[in-house]
Chain A
Amino acid sequence: MINVYELQDSNKRRSALVIAAFIAFVVVVGWVFARLFDYGPGAIGIALIFAGLMSFASYWWGDKIILTLSNARPADRQRDFQFFTVAENLAMAAQIPMPKLYVIEDSAPNAFATGRNPQHAVVCATTGLLQKLDRSELEGVIAHEISHIKNYDTRLMSIVTILVGMITLLSDWFLRGARFGRGKDRSEGSLGVFLLLLGVFLALLSPLIAKLMQLALSRRREFLADSSAAMLTRYPGGLARALEKIAADQEPLEVANKATAHLYIVNPLKNFHSGVGWFAGLFNTHPPIEERIRILREMR
């Protein structure tokens, strides 16, 4: 047994650890590339700017892009009474401004939150979720989404996306440069060959490693949002029941795709869950739902 406050603290600590490891990894890989292939600090800066520009759009207009992609309509108080009022209450409890609310017409139960800060936040739920859950279950789910907003998870994941993009660009440039025979003169024997091999190895693997670390962070943030949700409602049972219902539902969400999957409360691409074991777990945006339910049930 662990109380909600301790759980939230431990989640925050582990999250910070993953972020620190991630930044260390990016710095080390950047440095190795610079040393081995004469990139110089300029090239790393350029890579950062390129990757930054690409993610900036998704950061700044992310809410609008995602809502358009998902065919969402604005929620209103009359039609979506429970959704609307529950969100009102939880925004008050979390002391953030009321987020904009949207509804996706889809019978698969799911929900997500996005927006660059609490002032521009959006919470979106499917009609399936609103119909299948009762008020206390819905409260759990919305509290999870409000926690994502309050913990600035969208901003965090945007920054991480920029870093992953930078690593990918650097390694991509290196592989291109190596193919066309540019880069450093590598005629000094076996050491040169070894360095080249190491470079190729790093260039091939670092984007994958960066991506895996990003996914690990995403899973950490899900646990954190679960425990913060329990903190907001003081009723972890509601979210646990909601997750059980959502997990039991077999319908896939039609409007979700790989690009938006990590935003949802439960991975909407159900077939991605079929892989078992530790290795498949590495590629999940979300922790296993059974584990989330178990932790919620153990909370006091």
Chain B
Amino acid sequence: MIVGIILVLGLIVLYVWALYNQFVTIKTRIQASIQEIGNQLKRQANLIPNLTAAVKGYFKQEKEIFALITEARKAVLEALKEANAQKLVDASEKMQRALAPIRALFESTPQLRSAEPTVKLMDELRDTADKVMYARRTLIDLTADYNIKIVTFPSNLVAKIFGFKPEPGLKTPTEGEHLEVSAEELKTPKVGESL
């Protein structure tokens, strides 16, 4: 009888222990992916001046395009100061949109595509964009896991004991918007096809 009770108690302690560790691990990973987004945006921001220098003189409406990029760069630097995931992602999307004309130019201009440094630059930019995309998706997945664990039985009891709160993550309020994100992600590889 006593052995039985001890066994059951032991199992419960093990379960709580494992769950606590899971919560903490996911939380750390969420932080890490936010940091990864930040790191990549920093890297991207450092590459931009070289890029604008490389494509100077190719555009007719150069001023507007460069102004958009400068503005996006400012938004990125601002978001980096706060280290807020949502702001980082918004800034990175703004930057992607601002860079779109340069990608188009790159694809339609053989001179640029044969210049080794520019190709390298475009490759690096593609990679930072990919890394932000994967880090963002990891963040969304992890947050979903974490928040589901916090509300479902019996892990919600453990969360309550240790005071784990739901993570804000990134905004994906409706099914529709979530689908929009993945449609956007499908588009990204297309850019690379002719890289």
- Say whether A and B bind each other: yes
Q: What are the residues of chain A within 8 A of B120 when measuring CB–CB?
A: 81
| Binary A-proximity of B32-44 (CB < 8 A = 1, otherwise 0) | 0000100000000
Check B195 for interface membership: any CB of A closer than 8 A: yes
User: Which of B53-61, B134-142, B163-171 lines the interface with chain A?
Assistant: B134-142
Report whether B195 and A85 are in contact in the complex, using a CB–CB cutoff of 8 Å: no
Q: What are the residues of chain B within 8 A of A92 when measuring CB–CB?
A: 36, 131, 134-135, 138
Check B192 for interface membership: any CB of A closer than 8 A: yes
Report whether A134 and B195 are in contact in the complex, using a CB–CB cutoff of 8 Å: yes
Q: What are the residues of chain B within 8 A of A136 when measuring CB–CB?
A: 189-190, 192-193
Check B127 for interface membership: any CB of A closer than 8 A: yes
| Binary B-proximity of A69-109 (CB < 8 A = 1, otherwise 0) | 00000000000011001101110110100000000000000
Q: What are the residues of chain B within 8 A of A234 when measuring CB–CB?
A: 137, 182, 185-186
Q: What are the residues of chain B within 8 A of A90 when measuring CB–CB?
A: 134
Q: What are the residues of chain A within 8 A of B131 when measuring CB–CB?
A: 85, 88-89, 92
Report whether A235 and B127 are in contact in the complex, using a CB–CB cutoff of 8 Å: no
B29 and chain A: residue at smallest CB distance: A95
Q: In the complex, A204 Cα to B154 Cα: how many Å?
A: 54
Report whether B192 and A134 are in contact in the complex, using a CB–CB cutoff of 8 Å: yes
Taking a contact as CB atoms closer than 8 A, the residue among A85, A93, A139, A238 that contacts B137 in the complex is: A93
Q: In the complex, A7 Cα to B190 Cα: how many Å?
A: 25
Interface size class of B (residues with CB under 8 A): 20 to 34
Check A135 for interface membership: any CB of B closer than 8 A: yes
Q: What are the residues of chain B within 8 A of A139 when measuring CB–CB?
A: 189
Chain B nearest CB, measured from A53 CB (Å): 35
Chain A nearest CB, measured from B78 CB (Å): 25
Chain A nearest CB, measured from B36 CB (Å): 7
Max chain A C-beta neighbours (<10 A), residue from B189, B192, B193, B194: B189
B137 and chain A: residue at smallest CB distance: A93
Q: What are the residues of chain B within 8 A of A95 when measuring CB–CB?
A: 29, 138
Q: In the complex, A145 Cα to B192 Cα: how many Å?
A: 21
Report whether A89 and B192 are in contact in the complex, using a CB–CB cutoff of 8 Å: no
CB-based A-B contact count at 8 angstroms: 47
Report whether A238 and B189 are in contact in the complex, using a CB–CB cutoff of 8 Å: yes
Check B90 for interface membership: any CB of A closer than 8 A: no
> Which applies to chain B's interface (DSSP): helix, strand, loop or mixed?
helix
Report whether A89 and B130 are in contact in the complex, using a CB–CB cutoff of 8 Å: yes
Q: In the complex, A288 Cα to B192 Cα: how many Å?
A: 29
Interface size class of A (residues with CB under 8 A): 10 to 19
| Binary A-proximity of B117-156 (CB < 8 A = 1, otherwise 0) | 0001001001100110011011000000000000000000
Chain B nearest CB, measured from A197 CB (Å): 53
Q: In the complex, A92 Cα to B120 Cα: how many Å?
A: 22
Q: In the complex, A89 Cα to B126 Cα: how many Å?
A: 12
B127 and chain A: residue at smallest CB distance: A85
Q: What are the residues of chain B within 8 A of A238 when measuring CB–CB?
A: 189
Q: In the complex, A235 Cα to B130 Cα: how many Å?
A: 13
Chain B nearest CB, measured from A75 CB (Å): 15
Q: In the complex, A93 Cα to B29 Cα: how many Å?
A: 12
Q: What are the residues of chain B within 8 A of A93 when measuring CB–CB?
A: 134, 137-138
| Binary B-proximity of A227-238 (CB < 8 A = 1, otherwise 0) | 000000011001
Chain A nearest CB, measured from B191 CB (Å): 9
Could you jot down 24 A-B contacts, CB within 8 Å?
A82-B123, A85-B131, A89-B131, A90-B134, A92-B36, A92-B131, A92-B135, A93-B134, A93-B137, A93-B138, A95-B138, A134-B193, A134-B194, A135-B126, A135-B189, A135-B192, A135-B193, A135-B195, A136-B189, A136-B190, A136-B192, A139-B189, A234-B185, A235-B189
* 7 tightest A-B CB contacts, nearest first: A136-B189, A135-B192, A85-B127, A93-B134, A89-B134, A89-B130, A134-B193
* Besides the known contacts A82-B123, A234-B185, A235-B189, 9 further A-B residue pairs in the complex with CB atoms under 8 A apart: A81-B123, A85-B130, A89-B127, A89-B131, A89-B134, A92-B135, A92-B138, A134-B193, A235-B185
